[in-house]
Copies of this chain bind each other. A is one copy, B any other.
Amino acid sequence: MDFITGVKPEKTIKVEEMKSMVGKTVKINGAIHTIRNMGEVAFVILRKSSGLVQCVYEEGKTKFDLKDLKEESAIEVEGIIVEEERAPYGLEIRMEKIIVLSEPADVLPLAINKWKMNTSLETKLSLRPIALRNIRERAKFKIQEGIVRGFRDYLISQDFTEVRTPKITAKGAEGGSNIFKLDYFGKKAVLAQSPQFYKQTMVGVYDRVFEVGPVFRAEKHNTTRHLNEYSSMDFEMGYIDSFEDIMAMETGFLQYMAGLLKQEYSKELSLLEITLPEIDKIPQVRFDKAKELVSEKYNRKIRNPYDLEPEEELLIGRYFKEEYNSDFVFVTHYPSKKRPFYAMDDPVDKRFTLSFDLLFKGMEITTGGQRIHNYQMLLDKLEARGMSTEGMEHYLMIFQYGMPPHGGLGIGLERLTMRLLEEQNVRETTLFPRDLSRLEP
């Protein structure tokens, strides 16, 4: 009987191992990113997940024909590592033998091996499966991985429990018409707009929970910041003293995330020339106060005291950058009208809620706040809004049988990435974006 005992040592080396193996003959594999033929010498640049490796072909010395190599072939190289200061990491491999593991059928329709692909977003998205092979493109999503790791690792260190809640549900948490509908074995079902009801439910179980998962919004917006499917980083915490506890937890996450990116994703950050923002303290300002400040400073008339226009959002971002040198600002106490029924109204002035948005460089990347935890208060608010409790029985159950004071938030992962990387379109920081016209790839 044969047994599998676990992962065996690899016969090929990683980029990180090269430095300690100068002068040795090694095997290394990768995709051929570029071939630069200089006549008697040719540079074959291998693309590996952790970087590029310069391999040198010398006519007469290397035991194969350069014509056997094609860009985007996967190969295994055998050769000697030598120091060469003009090569990446100051090292190159003088090739002796190769094995071609696989070959493409056609030549690439896009110069993915250029440092910056000189092409439109439209083209990049149409050719996404291969455009992502570009070094800068893939670096963006490596950083996105780091953001999610930061979120999870930080929250686990803060005694949160990770949960997984269903995406096919019977009714939308926020209501409204922006819901994808489907047939579920003859029943009407919808795709979850958020894990709101479920994460609140799980606060009754674990006190503090989080989830990173897809959410679906059938919004007919065609803007640079809307997606119809995106990744939401959600948490919800019980036993809060005020909704400031939620903002404090988010600030803690952002600080931790920046530390993790600095430590483990510095290669990608420098590749994209990104400077991380300062996040030692984030100003907080009331919604109505923020509107005033911006109105005064930028001579802008307040048209609607209960709504925030996109331009106002931008100006609030600008104000806090100029006045406090902060890329972030918590805008608090949003009008009750603009928040869902489960938002806790401010007992001091019920036209406003104990809630907030976090703006990052003038764009909303988070909505959060304290929730109503009292059963009767929730029923009263539903009634006051003329909403039916139909389909909400399981949600209302948790309040009927007791819930601690709690609140939470949702962070749009692609938007946070977009702002961090200073991209101008959220599609740039979404692997395979879904928008009004894009269902593929």
Contacts and interface: CB of A to CB of B under 8 A. Distances in A.
B145 A162 contact: yes
Given A105-B376, A163-B431, A204-B129, A31 B402 contact: yes
A85 interface: no
Interface string A144-185: 110011000000101101111111111000000000111111
A229 B401 contact: no
A167 B238 contact: no
A244 interface: yes
A148 to B, nearest CB: 7
A233 to B, nearest CB: 11
A412 interface: no
Interface stretch (A36-44, A57-65, A433-441): A433-441
B105 A239 contact: no
Given A6-B255, A138-B205, A180 B168 contact: yes
Given A283-B1, A441-B394, A166 B106 contact: no
Contact of A198 (B108, B202, B231, B432): B432
Nearest to A414: B164
A168 B434 contact: yes
A241 to B, nearest CB: 8
Interface string A364-380: 00000000011110000
B7 A249 contact: yes
Contact of A7 (B74, B76, B248): B248
A184 B130 contact: no
A185 to B, nearest CB: 6
A251 B391 CA distance: 43
A297 interface: no
A3 B376 CA distance: 34
Question: Among A1, A182, A239, A248, which residue has the most Cβ atoms of chain B within 10 A?
Answer: A239
A439 B168 contact: yes
Interface in A97-143: 101-106, 108-109, 127-130, 132-133, 138, 141-142
A6 B251 contact: yes
Given A207-B48, A439-B189, A29 B239 contact: yes
Contacts of A50: 159
A205 B112 CA distance: 11
Q: How large is the interface on A (under 10, 10 to 19, 20 to 34, 35 or more residues)?
A: 35 or more
A59 B384 CA distance: 43
Given A6-B251, A158-B7, A129 B397 contact: yes
B129 A394 contact: yes
Contact of A2 (B48, B128, B216, B284): B284
A182 B182 contact: yes
B284 A3 contact: yes
A104 B373 CA distance: 10
B74 A167 contact: no
Given A169-B439, A182-B181, A397-B130, A283 B2 contact: yes
Given A4-B248, A7-B248, A101-B405, 6 more contacts: A2-B285, A4-B282, A7-B251, A185-B436, A201-B441, A397-B441
14 contacts: A2-B285, A4-B283, A6-B255, A102-B404, A104-B375, A106-B400, A127-B397, A129-B394, A132-B204, A148-B162, A163-B431, A185-B218, A201-B441, A391-B440
Interface of A: 1-8, 12, 14, 29, 31, 48-50, 70-74, 76, 101-106, 108-109, 127-130, 132-133, 138, 141-142, 144-145, 148-149, 156, 158-159, 161-170, 180-185, 187, 189, 191, 198, 201-202, 204-208, 213-214, 216, 218, 220, 228-229, 231, 238-239, 244, 247-249, 251-252, 255, 280-285, 324, 330, 373-376, 391, 393-395, 397-405, 413, 431-432, 434, 436, 439-441
